[in-house]
Amino acid sequence: MTALAKLLRTTAFRLTLVYLLVFALFAAFLLGYFALNTRRMINDQIVRTVDSEIVDLTNIFERVGLRGLMIAVDARAGNPGSSLYLVTTANGDGLAGNVGSLEPGVIDRTGWVEAAYRRIEQTDQADHMALVHVVQMPGGFRLLVGRDLDERERLFRIVAIAGRWSVAIVIVLGLTGGFFVSRRVLRRIEAMGDKAHTIMSGDLSGRLPIAGTGDELDRLAANLNAMLGRIESLMRGLKEVSDNVAHDLRTPLTRLRNRCEAALRTAKSDRDYRDAIEATIEESDGLIHIFDALLMIARAESGELRAGMIPFDAAEIARDVGELYEPVADEKGLTLRVDAATPAPVTGNRELIGQALANLLDNAIKYTGAAADRVNGVAPEIVVTAQAQPNQILLSVGDRGPGIPAAERQRAVERFVRLEQSRTEPGSGLGLSLASAVARLHGGELRLEDNAPGLKALLILPRADATRGAS
């Protein structure tokens, strides 16, 4: 496509054409309206003055007779100007006035008519138009009084010329304006297109140019850039997950393989084989755990689980999960306290929120257990709370374990992140990532705070009846 053809096809240019047509029609209409009204006004004025002259002349005729009328008519006809007068006999012979010749038949009919005429002392040989009134006098005489219409026609011509010019100017200005506007828009669109091509060819960090004018193209570019940002972070997440899958699955797979090889090499009895196989199954279960957790994070992140959300009480989940883990904590010599008496309405996926809370609690028990005897003076207590605030629901799990250093807290809640210390513990090690993904799926967040000492994990979810409560 040539550059011009491209330009002509732009929306801006097409819009320009439409506006151009509208404006041209509008200008033509305005001028036409003006011309018609002026014409009517001129006609009205002619009719009024001619009528009053006819009344005058009729009066003269009645008072002093034909002779007096002829004198008066000749006197008036002698004045320069556009007035026309003619007095004729019943059969049309001219008696007085300044009309030389007249369209045939005009003088025979009384009333108003537009007719072509020539003056007596006219210099050129052209016919002129006039608006004339013919009346019949007593005795069969006819009186014609009229006004030349040259002025009216001249005005009309001026308007017609003005009309043509204004339409021409509108078209020229419109086309030039449209051309420049379209070219400007086209240039920006093309810049965006070029950038999009470089992004498509692999440079995910590229962003569309923003002119800084805050117009609709800028807003579009900003939105597309936000989308690109999201895509980039998802892609980075995907890369991270593949790296993590590679690392997290490779290590246990290697262990699995080594164990089988060792069994083949060293096992002496059925008992040995059985032990080796059981250990292998256990190891593969661990692999499945990691795999499931990775998949669940990915699905929560993709937002596709958003469909099955229902309203429920998160405080109940907190109590349930607390009750589920209480014996586990108890067995480790920890106290687990649940403080979730008031309802905490949320809309979401009950299973996922339950899983998230279970993960947090599982971590709390796991890590507090290791550090319980080292923390002096502070009871190794784990506290689970559910709190309803005006706009959000806070589910928290606080422990007295070693906590997570402030610098690492932000990273710990990112997608698919396993902190180094979690790799040595049993479980998928993806508990925080999963809880964080669940929070984001529900439009909330997972925040890690210092429990002084220990870690406090806050699962912040939007309150289900928040809007209703506010109104």
Under the criterion CB under 8 A, does residue 276 sit at the interface with other proteins?
no
State yes or no: residue 319 binds other proteins (CB under 8 A).
no
Q: How many residues bind other proteins (CB under 8 A)?
A: 36
Binding segment (CB under 8 A) for other proteins, from list 66-74, 152-160, 246-254, 298-306: 298-306
Q: Give how far the C-alpha of residue 360 lies from the chain's centroid of Cα atoms, to the nearest Å.
A: 41
Residue 244 binds to other proteins (criterion: CB under 8 A): no
Query: Binding segment for other proteins among 78-86, 121-129, 291-299, 409-417 (CB under 8 A)?
Result: 291-299
Tokens encoding 263: 């069994």
Instruction: Examine residue 308 and tell whether it contacts other proteins (CB under 8 A).
Output: yes
12 binds other proteins (CB under 8 A): no
CA distance linking residue 301 with residue 294, whole number of Å: 11
Instruction: Kindly tell me which residue out of 62, 261, 278, 465 binds other proteins, with binding defined by CB under 8 A.
Output: 278
User: Any contact of residue 32 with other proteins (CB under 8 A)?
Assistant: no
Residue 427 touching other proteins (CB under 8 A):
yes
Residue from 65, 139, 214, 327 binding other proteins (CB under 8 A): 327
Tokens 């509208």 belong to 22
Query: For residues 127 and 331, which CB has a smaller minimum distance to other proteins in the complex?
Result: 331
Task: Out of 295, 370, 378, 406, name the contact with other proteins by CB under 8 A.
Answer: 295
- Based on the shown chain and the rule CB under 8 A, indicate whether residue 380 belongs to the binding site for other proteins: no
Considering the rule CB under 8 A, would residue 367 count as an interface residue with other proteins? no
451 binds other proteins (CB under 8 A): no
- The residues that touch other proteins, with contacts defined as CB under 8 A, are 278, 281, 284-285, 288-289, 292, 295-296, 299, 304-305, 307-308, 320, 323-325, 327-328, 330-331, 349, 351-352, 354-355, 358-359, 362, 365-366, 426-428, 431
